[in-house]
Structure 1
């Protein structure tokens, strides 16, 4: 690996770790969450940590891969902004679902998160097909999370 990749990888890994840390800090699987009826097909709790770890690694790698191929500073800044917005939306979902205890609001916000991932895939594909492909597991996982979120809302409504 060339030394030119080290700083961007460290920055992307740090940003991904920060988003993961904040999301994990907000996520509380005890108390209220345990009272929610879950669909029978929900993965066991330990799967979430493994999946998110892999996804954050892939997102960081996708960000660096696409960023290194952006032709201008403006394109680079836009790409970084899209990844930052996506990270914010990722944290916001956890905040709405776990802290506000509003899976119904989280479901609405999840649509914005999902769209932000699609936009990232489309924009990254302009610069690197590999970067776009690296984001596909994230889209699949958030789609699964959306289905789970929908089922939690359906099985446990009303909230608030």
Structure 2
């Protein structure tokens, strides 16, 4: 691997590091609440998986860059531009989830991210098949993340999570 490969592998982690610096205090109780999910992984596992995924997709982006001749010419604009947008959206999802604690908005961004990753895989496939295949674990993780996020969003809308009327307050029709 060329020295530029290290840049491609490390680049996705810059956003993850910034997210962690800004949200580390909020992460420990990320999946707790009135209806805690039994299958929800601890936040340290979530960070480990995101870190691994970012290594994998970073290497995939390097393979695409290398196969298109390196540099920063027009042939790289679509495959790496789409990848850059995907990274920005993935960092946004983490901020929305951990810092803003907005599972509904995070879920919308996850669905957008899912579409971006599928599009990236389709664009990368003719360039480098391995790079496209390296996006499959990312899609699997996004599926798990979307399921957790959906469940947390749904539970936040359930009536048992919202305070009901007190004894002094009559029910209104």
- Do the two structures share a fold, i.e. TM-score over 0.5? yes
Larger deviation: 95-104 or 136-145? 95-104
Match of 1:16 in 2: 12
Deviation at 1:93, TM superposition (A): 0.8
Deviation at 1:135, TM superposition (A): 1.0
Cα distance in 2 for partners of 1:132, 1:118 equals 9
Larger deviation: 74-83 or 104-113? 74-83
Deviation at 1:99, TM superposition (A): 2.1
CA contact (8 A) 2:30 2:43 kept: no
* Superimposed CA distance per residue, residues 76-118 of structure 1 (whole angstroms, 9 cap, x where no aligned partner): 1222211110111011112222222211111111111111111
TM-score by length of 1: 0.85
CA contact (8 A) 1:96 1:102 kept: yes
Aligned ranges for residues 145-160 of structure 1 at < 5 Å?
145-157=145-157
* Structure 1: runs of 5 or more not aligned: none
CA contact (8 A) 1:86 1:116 kept: yes
CA contact (8 A) 1:33 1:98 kept: no
Q: Which has the higher helix share?
A: 1
Q: CA RMSD in A?
A: 2.2
Aligned length: 155
Higher relative contact order (CA 8 A, sep 6+): 1
TM-score by length of 2: 0.79
Cα distance in 2 for partners of 1:154, 1:58 equals 31
Match of 1:41 in 2: 39
Match of 1:140 in 2: 140
* Structure 2: runs of 5 or more not aligned: 162-173
Cα distance in 1 for partners of 2:29, 2:50 equals 22
